[in-house]
Structure 1
């Protein structure tokens, strides 16, 4: 699916060795965007002229860092200086930040070039319907809310996509479009510059062609290199394999062997997550004019405002801390190196069948627990359905062990590639 046919690491290496010019790479990526955008709509804003100028300048300049000349896309929730950042919402129409978000500034300092802004659901809630369509089958759901990023990386109209993940918003589109999506340990990467703000559940993360590419971004952003894990003994939380689509289950079981383990309070993750998300969203959107937002978003925020209590939020935060401790202890108690499951319980459904109120819980139930606990989690491809739809495998690790999760994912990718 990827137009340029290069992984992020391969492109960076070719640029560093002088085997590829930044202008040539950018022309390929933008050409792929022009070819695919009329159908797939990954971008809300494509900054072609400035991106090409930056690529030509990169070829003339001294090398700035490991991402010198690499084209990336940024989710419309994340501030980019001088480019639109509208949070997928009419409430922020025309907003052009004066400064980059922390993560964008860090990537630019390493030489990356921002190609444009990727479509998102309004405020990342997943309750409206952006025009983005799946990279494999444009009649199907692309994932949310970093959907534009997942589709763009899969199609080759960017080599990496920077996004946010509050309940699986990076890992879901990665899984449904057949690429890698990584959510770091909570707080490891600054969320400064996310519009209009974040809750305790939100993380900055990224979508890349492979887990190895994700490891390169981790190194650039945090200085952490991908060290090999102690092993690949995998535990699956009890209940995570219940109610799976048969083809998702078949792909997952063919890819890995797991032991099912019990983690106290894990079954309550969705309820706890819901209380925190609703209560803290009220604060984040205190100044948002609700008459300008999508009806589903407005109904969610109005309901959250009427039901929010300090006592309820405090109890949910205590429950979150207990669950975080239970997940952390599970690695030692059950002697597993990673927690593993499918990323999403079902493949991409036709857009005509996608009802957010009815189906979001099915798409989020395996990803949102790690937003609640803050553990690093990665999605990598692990097969396809009979219709050719990608299936993702989720790997989660101990708090702070982001590099090991990415190295484990890379090992799994290599193992699965060897079976093809």
Structure 2
């Protein structure tokens, strides 16, 4: 399935169009919308438990906060700095990339951005022309297709389901490839499913892309959050011949519990990174200097903080999967990475639950919020109807209480 770029209605004169077709076609972030609604209900006194936002419940490690406090007092951080990022941070990101994934890059291949979302948009904007197609495996994170369309591209969805662990095959990718295909989006570990591709699968996908001369944008934001026998494999390391057409986006948000600090980055060929930096110089200029100094402390330090968080995430992962699979009509594969569960609820659709018969996962999510006061994100937000996404990056007690409410409510389903 592909989505054409929006075009203005020619019957309406330009002066009468209040919002451009391009911007008017952008959907609100479903995950942020669910999180905002849950927080608003909690503020109003409702005992809502939110599984919506992909946000660690841990505070940012103290040594990172201390670095930011010191940076606030340094007058040099009160001024403009290079739009592409502090030179010392770009060098540290290059060193961190070699340490963590084995990919040797130069600081000139790094662009520091205002979070991962800006990194994704600017990367697509730098390489896409109108009509260029991007193959997007689904379920996908909500921002990907919106960024592609905003950059003038056309997202082409390739759908995987629970029977394959939410992983697409090379055969599926080849079936979606056309003369207009320019880019493959590749994400492992995945948001929203937690799927992690094996080394053999990463190599197969990379070799396919290289064989057909395609670009690959790979999002490595969850690189450190893998569990059990799963292992993160960086695509340009697994398939070195792809490196000149590979763009990696990443950031500090998930690894260091820094979602609010808004620091991400793009790594890629120098000409593409320079083009993206030119765009950023006009869009936002430099990233907040204090946040950049905090990110420098994060990526320059060890991974002990993330290791501690990962122990908790792993415990919660096993709990949420077990409890969800105890609900008749729910099938939840065990996620191997990130901090999301993506259960199929197709077995519940059409059944009566407290006088209602939800026909879609969106209707089911609405019923769950109304009746159980639990906020989840429906699969429609991620391109696949019939699923729910639950982030297990919340406290153990809230997690158990929230899924217990789901068990009670959904256990009432009747034909």
Please, what TM-score do these two structures have when normalized by structure 1?
0.27
Highest Rg: 1 or 2?
2
Please, what TM-score do these two structures have when normalized by structure 2?
0.28
Which structure ranks higher in relative contact order (CA pairs < 8 Å, sequence separation ≥ 6)? 2
